[in-house]
Structure 1
């Protein structure tokens, strides 16, 4: 009896076909290859990392190297930087000094130079001129009366010797003559007063200087209550009203020199402190140093400017900003002691200059000060100092 055996290729173990088993084996080889590659890379990285971290002969990590400097103590000229407003050093307000009237003409413009007594504006004086003429005529009238009184007295003196006129008549005629002479003096004084008033009708410069402002035009009626018509900077002199902190203001002496740079220009001008404010502003804690400047067209009153002022010289160490650290305990630096360990040293800062920070106290200048990376160090840490030459 013959049996026919049929093999179904789709029947395999676990119910999987041959194709599915082949795909499974392929995935397993891929995963195995990835794992082996990862292990190889990790081994390489671990071996390189060990080479980059050398050990000392005794098994300790390498001591870090830090750059240090011994700054010494030099003589430093103090410099104080401040800002302020430009102004005329002596500004002269000019207004009406006489009785005023209608302005006929104005002879100057802002920016003009004027001399002492130069006419700035002319006021109509037609009425006042007639008054002066009337006063002159009064002098002639008074003089005629005085001449007549003198003639009468002279005739009476000739008759008194003959007894025709009494001494009382002589006294009366003498008094009449004296009164007439006095009226002549009064008339002359009145004319002089009138002429002086007429001279004040012209508005003139009280001193030589630079005209800053003009507040009057022809045809305008002015009087003593019209206020300031012109302002003049006497001699053209300017100044900077520098606002300086009270501590720094005390360091500046009268006669101190500086350089003023107006806003909008790179040009600077020499100045000299001629006055310091005796009062400190309660809100800003600043005072004013008045710095005199010669005339220059670039110096405009009301403009803003910066100033560098020379202050007292000091003998102190100077460090770069990178060497000075700060925290809630104050300012400090790290120095390296004789055993090459890090030591914290509190310091008091002085002037801040372009070339570094002046150390007012806390250092003698002979210490080895950490210049950089102080924030990565800790107090008591051992380091290997590398000396850098001081500036």
Structure 2
């Protein structure tokens, strides 16, 4: 049997051992490096999770600090805003009642208060005065005829028993006396009629109130076709004809209070709704709420005004204007989730007042809402929330 014997020189054996040891060291180093990398990855993931759960006061230098608030819910007035014109509650146009004539004097100016029956303008009446005198004289003539007829009747009645006059003559004289008395009554009635017609020449106030306009001057000839010479507000009562949208009209009723602000006047006037229109304009979809106002010099009929009508209260979140943003998609706020990341939330805007903006939909009031810097945030961005106490 033959055996093949391999011979390896001593120097080559040393070189092979050295190479083998180098490979082993390389493998060990690579395994250690891979293990360290795996450990580092696990630690990083844990740190990221821990960072998401860190409180707002922790040191996160790369995360912006943002003020947030939990608004809750609080009573908010339901307010209807409207615009409209001012007018007299009961406007009285005043014109010529009698036959008219030339105006001698105008006794009032716009803004004057007058009582019922007070003359507003005096009409020239020289012809009517002479007619009254003539009628008064006719009364005297009729009365004289009546006295004469009575005297003749008395004499006839004294002679009838003595046979000097017949019963028929007495009846005729009685009829003459009665006709004379009737003529007296006719003359007196004509006289009173003339007085009444003359009294109607003057333009008088039909009721107590405030003179709004005057469109007559001395020397002007007026008659039944002259139109309206004065306009008055009965009792001086004014009102605002507030134009209210169809949706808001259902929420208001007579008796509700309202605040009216005339254009160009810095003060508001308190009134109350006394009538709500039973119909809605089919073109504008608006109805009219009539707001009763007491007289004030600043309230000018025909002027424009705005009204704030309080139609009740409701509980709703209330936010400052800085917290509510808007774009082409509508109004929205940023809320902070459990991971301290901001989320966009669409909301419906309710009443806007000096206290803030009432949110009628989209928020329950228990969310953390970003108060400021919302315009510089993006959905999904992490923040450090700084809690602020809600107002109210």
Q: Which TM-score tier does this pair reach, normalised by the shorter chain?
A: 0.7 to 0.9
State the Cα distance separating 1:344 from its structure 2 match. Answer: 7.0
Written as runs of structure 1 = structure 2, the 5 A alignment for 1:118-267 is 118-267=118-267
1:180/1:56 CA distance change after superposition, 3 Å: farther
In structure 2, the residue matched to 1:97 is: 97
Deviations 1:238-275 (A, max 9, x none): 32222222222332332322333222232332222222
CA contact (8 A) 1:101 1:123 kept: yes
Q: Distance in 1 between matches of 2:186 and 2:69?
A: 92
Q: Distance in 2 between matches of 1:59 and 1:360?
A: 38
Q: Distance in 1 between matches of 2:336 and 2:282?
A: 44
State the Cα distance separating 1:60 from its structure 2 match. Answer: 7.2
Q: Distance in 2 between matches of 1:93 and 1:239?
A: 17
Q: Distance in 2 between matches of 1:56 and 1:151?
A: 139
Q: Distance in 1 between matches of 2:348 and 2:305?
A: 30
In structure 2, the residue matched to 1:87 is: 87
Normalization by structure 2: what TM-score?
0.74
Deviations 1:154-173 (A, max 9, x none): 22222333344444433333
SS in 2 for 1:278: coil
State the Cα distance separating 1:214 from its structure 2 match. Answer: 1.6
State the Cα distance separating 1:376 from its structure 2 match. Answer: 5.0
Q: Distance in 1 between matches of 2:222 and 2:328?
A: 66
State the Cα distance separating 1:363 from its structure 2 match. Answer: 4.0
In structure 1, the residue matched to 2:69 is: 69
In structure 2, the residue matched to 1:278 is: 278
Q: Distance in 1 between matches of 2:243 and 2:376?
A: 36
Q: Distance in 2 between matches of 1:342 and 1:213?
A: 63
1:359/1:90 CA distance change after superposition, 3 Å: same
In structure 2, the residue matched to 1:293 is: 293
1:183/1:81 CA distance change after superposition, 3 Å: same
Q: Distance in 2 between matches of 1:232 and 1:80?
A: 31
RMSD between superposed Cα atoms in Å: 3.2
| Structure 2 residues not aligned, in runs of 5+ | 1-43, 53-62
CA contact (8 A) 1:118 1:205 kept: yes
Written as runs of structure 1 = structure 2, the 5 A alignment for 1:229-378 is 229-321=229-321, 323-324=323-324, 335=335, 348-371=348-371, 373=374, 376-378=377-379
Q: Distance in 1 between matches of 2:146 and 2:345?
A: 101
State the Cα distance separating 1:185 from its structure 2 match. Answer: 0.8
SS in 2 for 1:241: strand
Q: Distance in 1 between matches of 2:329 and 2:267?
A: 43
Q: Distance in 1 between matches of 2:259 and 2:107?
A: 36
Deviations 1:284-341 (A, max 9, x none): 2222222222222222222222232222111222234455567898766565566767
1:346/1:59 CA distance change after superposition, 3 Å: closer
Q: How many residues align?
A: 336
In structure 1, the residue matched to 2:19 is: none
Q: Distance in 2 between matches of 1:308 and 1:83?
A: 9
| Structure 1 residues not aligned, in runs of 5+ | 1-54
Q: Distance in 1 between matches of 2:184 and 2:144?
A: 9
Deviations 1:184-221 (A, max 9, x none): 11110110010011111111222333322221111111
